[in-house]
Structure formats: C-alpha cells, structure tokens
Amino acid sequence: MHNWKDIPGIVSCLGFSMGVSFGAYAADNTAIGHPTHAASGVIVLKESKMSGDQPIVDDKTLFISIKAQLEKVDTEIAAQNWEAASRLIRQALAELGDRYTRSDTIDDSDMKLIAADIQEKEGRLDNAANVRRRILAGRLEMLRSKIE
C-alpha cells in the first residue's frame, strides 16, 4: 500500500534529481561526446564516432538493427519473460543512444524510463517492460522519420 502523502515529496525530489542529471548530462555531452544511459541511471560514455567524425553505423542500418531487436522484445513480452524483455530493451536503447532524434526535437521520454525503473523496483515487471517497449517503439519511429 502506498502512502499518498509522500507523493509530493517524491515528485519534487525526482524533479530536482532530473535537473541535476540534466545539467551533468549537458556538461558531459558538451565536454566529452555522446553519452548513453545505463539501466542504473548512470551515464555511460559510448564512442559513437570514428575518426573523421563519421558515425560507425549509418541511421538506416541502425534502424534495421533496432527494429530486429524490437521484434525479439515482442517475443519475450508475448512469453511474459519480463526481465529478458527489459534487458533487451535496455540494450537497444543504449545502442540507439540519441541518434533517433533531430537537434530541434524535445524528447521527454527519459522521464517515462525513470517511471519504468520505479515500477520495476516495486515488482511490477510487466508494466515496466511494456512502458520501456513503448518508448523504444516511439524512438524507433522517430528514427524512421529522421531517415525518410
């Protein structure tokens, strides 16, 4: 049973934490490169460029890879393998990084990923996996519109 009186405090703490995380993310992204988020919420720096500032994989190849991974996720969700589905989604999200969006796009789906992490910690693995799956599908669709 939840203590609903704690919700304003939790929400304000989450907002403050996200603000601090965003500031650190922006500083790291500016200074170092393109970070991706690990499942723990830690920023993991991932090399996404080769020498000459060329992407390692072009966006169309990335789209094909993520789409195939999403199909595997759907198989795991259909079998109610929630942990496996969430693991595959985290891997796909890490591979996708921020390449799914244009520079002028505002994307707040990271907030939903935080909510999925909370649901997972509460033992609601099915809800967490389904939320993450929708986010991955949405980001995949954004990548599709970027490459068309």
What is the mean predicted confidence (pLDDT) over 78-102?
A: 94
**C-beta atoms surrounding 136 within 10 Å:** 23
pLDDT per position as a tens digit, 107-140: 889 999 999 999 999 999 999 999 999 999 999 9
Flag whether 40 is in a domain: no
Number of domains in the chain: 1
Flag whether 69 is in a domain: yes
Q: With 60 as the cut, is the pLDDT of residue 98 above it?
A: yes
Farthest-apart Cα atoms in the chain, separation = 55
7/138: higher pLDDT: 138
Q: With 70 as the cut, is the pLDDT of residue 144 above it?
A: yes
Shortest CA distance to 125 belongs to which of 70, 84, 74?
A: 84
Flag whether 28 is in a domain: no
Shortest CA distance to 72 belongs to which of 97, 89, 95?
A: 89
Flag whether 41 is in a domain: no
15/46: higher pLDDT: 15
Does the reported pTM lie above 0.95?
no
**C-beta atoms surrounding 124 within 10 Å:** 15
Domain of residue 60: give its range: 56-147
135: region left, alpha or beta (phi > 0 left; psi from -120 to 50 alpha): alpha
pLDDT per position as a tens digit, 25-72: 444 444 444 444 444 443 333 444 444 454 568 999 999 999 999 999
How far CA 134 is from CA of 42, 86, 112, in Å, comes to 22, 12, 10
Give the position of tokens 């079998």: 79
